Structure formats: structure tokens, C-alpha cells
Amino acid sequence: MENFAKPKVVLSKCINLEATRYDGGIIKNDFAELLGKFVEYIPVCPEVAIGLPIPRDPIIIVKNDPDKLIQPKTKIDFTDKMVTFSKEFLGNLKEVDGFLLKAKSPSCGVKDTNCYKDYEGKEPVGKTSGIFTRVVLETFKNYPVESEKRLIDRGIRDQFLTKIFSFADLRFLKENLTKANLIEFHSRYKLMLTTYNKVNLRILGKIVSNLKENDLQDTYNKYSEIFKSSFNKKPKVSAHVNTLLHAFGYFKDKLGAKEKAHFLDVIEDFTKGNVDIYAPIELILGFAIRFEEEYLMKQRYFNPYPKELRRL
């Protein structure tokens, strides 16, 4: 069984943990509950943290320059309080690998919070991110930041999971940093980096090849920054296909004609959306085990996060 470093994820407290919603409610979310078995949650409710009660009169984002966080009933402006709290909270985070925040919230929403023209909240003019989330995005530029609603999308969810477990793995490397461990880490992520960002793969390869023992910490810092920036775009299906065919090339002289044809049929089904990425991946892993291809068996691309998280 694969061992995974345990990600540390900031979670909106109203998701499964406490009834901190403006209406005194709590959000039940099956995915967040399941994920909690594999990660360490760091709970936060920015609105309660700045002194708002439970329950409370709603607050909204009003479009301005800059935008304002307003409570329509009282006309109180909570913008400065929220920004100050957000900077302090995030500044005190010693370790974190990602953020799972409440959808549509004026504090925690991710790209789906209503933004209003007026202070009464009657004229919406578009969607935006909550004020706390904006500070998160500014402070943790390359980190995974998602809401529970956005993670309903399987592609977004897969990328989020891949990133938090990869970042946790990178953090574990820092805690056990040696030249050999950095080289081994890079080797394990080669196929994943090939799929996500070939340019960064080449840059990281040069960093590792020029590694000096007496410059290990500086090298890690440089490597870490570029590694984290490698996952900002969802790979195209064609990128996955190229990686899978590259791995398949390890067995081209070892498989029979029918096995080869079956694998290529599965690849075609994947390109058409008839099966997910794990159909061809499981075939590749089966070949790797049969022919003892250790390099492929250790590739994180084929097993980026616990299998139990695939099912939702």
C-alpha cells in the first residue's frame, strides 16, 4: 500500500465542523468528511473571528475601488477587520498544503460569491472571491484553493487532490532533506511533471543535476518554488495520452499483439471520455508489476493520492 505524506488543509469551519454559518447552520459535505480521514484540517471561520455573532445579519461584497465588505442592515464596513485578520491568520500558518473553503461566502467564496452594486445587496453585478480568499490567493499564489461546490467537478477535484498530496510530499522532503532524497523525489515526479509542465521539468532537472551538498537548503527553496508553480493548469487529455504512451513504450517488445491492441483501445476510450484516466493507468501498473519496471511503479503520476478518494 502506498504511503502518503499527510496534507495540511485550511477548512472553512462551517463545513462539517461547527455551526458557524450566518444563519446558525452547518454544511454537511461527504467529500470533505472523507478527505478528513487523509488530511489534517486547520479550521477557520473568518466572520466569527472578526467578532460577528452566530447567527448574524448577512454581510455582502459591494463593488468599489477597492471592494467593500458591508453588512446591509447596519451599513457597517468590515473590510479592514477582515483583511487584518486574514493577513494575521495566514501569516501564522507554519505549514499548509491547500485550502478548502465555503462556496459563495463573502469571506471564503472562491470565484462564486455575489458582488453587488449597492449597499443593500439588491443589484448583483457579477461573481468574485470572498475577502479572506483574496488574501489567501495573494499570499499563497501557487497553492490549491477550492470551494466544496467547485470540487463537485471531477477534473477540478482530481487536480486539487494531486496538488495537496504533492505539496505535502514536498514538505515531507524538506523535513528529511538530503541530496539523495531530493534526487529520488524528482525521479518519482518526472512523469507527473512531464504531463503538467514540461518546461518546468527541464528547469528542475537542471537544478537537480547541478546539486551541491553545501547548497542544499537554497537548492530546495528554488526547486520548491518552481515545483509548486508546475500545477497551475489542468493538463490536456493529449498530455495524459503522451505520458501514457511513453510509459507503454517500456513494454512494446514484451506484450502480445492482443494486449497491445487492448491497451490502445482503452486509450481511445479515454480520449473520448468513455473511461477515466485510471483505466489506462491500472493497465500500465499491471504491466509494470509483471515486468518489474521499478521506475514506473514508483511514479507518483500513476498514484497521486489515496485510491479511496477516487470514488466520490
pLDDT at 312: 60
Higher local confidence (pLDDT), 310 or 43: 43
Last residue of a domain, one of 105, 132, 152: 152
**Same domain? 252 vs 139:** no
Whether 222 is covered by a domain: the verdict is no
Which pLDDT does position 2 carry in this prediction? Answer: 73
**How many percent of the chain have pLDDT more than 70?**
99
What's the chain's average pLDDT? 96
Taking alpha carbons only, the member of 176, 172, 179, 169 closest to residue 211 is 179
Total structural domains in the chain?
Answer: 2
Do 140 and 259 reside in the same domain of the chain? no
Tell me if 230 is assigned to some domain: no
**40-44 vs 98-101, strand pairing mode:** unpaired
Q: Residue 194 falls within a domain, yes or no? A: no
> Is residue 26 domain-shared with residue 124, that is, in the same domain?
yes
Geometric angle at alpha carbon 40, from 38 and 41, rounded to 5°: 120
pLDDT for 197 beyond 90: yes
pLDDT reported for residue 212: 80
Q: Judge whether 172 lies within some domain.
A: no
Residue 226 maps to a domain = no
264 with 147, same domain: the answer is no
Q: Indicate if the alpha-carbon torsion angle 117, 123, 129, 131 is positive or negative.
A: positive
Same-domain status, 242 and 148? no
Query: Percent of the chain having pLDDT more than 90?
Result: 95
Q: What is the pLDDT of residues 51-77, one digit of tens each?
A: 999 999 999 999 998 999 999 999 999
Does one domain contain both 18 and 139?
yes
Taking only the tens place, the pLDDT of each residue in 77-110 is 999 999 999 999 999 998 999 999 999 999 999 9
| Residue 202 domain flag | no
Q: Does residue 131 form part of some domain?
A: yes
DSSP lists the bridge partners of residue 76 as 71
Beta bridge partners of 41: 9
- Beta partners for residue 61, in sequence order: 69, 115
Q: Which of 86, 117, 152 lies at the terminal end of a domain, its last residue?
A: 152
Which amino acid, residue 2? E
Structural domain including 126 reads: 8-152
Name residue 263's amino acid.
F
Specify whether 267 is located in the same domain as 131: no
Tell me the pTM: 0.95
Please give the Cα distance from 208 to 223 (Å, whole number): 8
pLDDT in tens, 150-167: 999 999 999 999 999 999
DSSP-derived secondary structure letter, 157: H
**pLDDT(193) > 70:** yes
**How buried is residue 40: exposed, middle or buried, by Cβ count under 10 Å (0-12/13-18/19+)?**
middle
**In this predicted structure, what is the pLDDT of residue 215?**
86
Rounded Cα distance, 269 and 279, in Å: 9
Which of 152, 178, 213 corresponds to the end of one domain?
152
**Is residue 39 in a domain?**
yes
Model confidence pLDDT, tens digit, residues 116-152: 999 999 999 999 999 999 999 999 999 999 999 999 9
pLDDT over 80 (residue 213): no
